[in-house]
Amino acid sequence: MAIEAFVWSYKNGEPTPIRLANVLRAFEEAGAKWELASGCLHLEFGGAPHTCDVFVDTDAAETDRVRGLMISRPIRTAALWQGVLRILSEQHAILFFSDDTTPRLWDLHSLEHIPADLIASLGTPLQVRTPEDILAGHAR
């Protein structure tokens, strides 16, 4: 079974979009290849074992809005997580995994923007500031 990572953004308890331009900027180091029809960013961080796909809304190119990210088969490459951390630091956003729902946030003060019932269903939040923080909490 494939592992997936999710990034969702909120403001005042409501889902809030992330600008596509910010997502592309966060992953520019990977030389993201954009597949418009599928809403897929193919990220390459140095060869086949260091690739993954990030899925966004299929209309993101038209609207410059992304309701959330789904990272398919996330890799342990620090550069991927640097991009995710950049997004987390610019939004009131959470990161969690399909096999470990512990919510990870850049700033725990963002919790006031995220629905309490969502946090209750995911678990006790962790603050993450480095790729190592993310990877240490998600051994794979």
Q: How many alpha carbons fall within 13 Å on the CB side of residue 32?
A: 23
**Residue 49, helix vs strand vs coil:** helix
- CATH code for position 56: 3.30.1400
Q: What are phi and psi of 11, to 5 degrees?
A: -145, 125
Number of domains, the chain: 1
Rounded to the nearest angstrom, the gap between the alpha carbon of residue 120 and the centroid of all alpha carbons in its chain is: 20
Range of the domain at 83: 4-136
- Asked if 92 and 15 touch (Cβ cutoff 8 Å), the reply is no
CB under 8 Å, gap of 24 or more: what pairs does 108-111 form? 110/10
Q: Whole-prediction pTM value?
A: 0.93
- Give, for all 140 residues of the chain, the pLDDT tens digit: 589 999 999 999 999 999 999 999 999 888 778 887 889 999 998 887 889 999 999 999 899 999 999 999 999 999 999 999 999 999 999 999 999 999 999 999 999 999 999 999 999 999 999 999 998 866 54
Euclidean distance between CA atoms 10 and 2, whole angstroms: 26
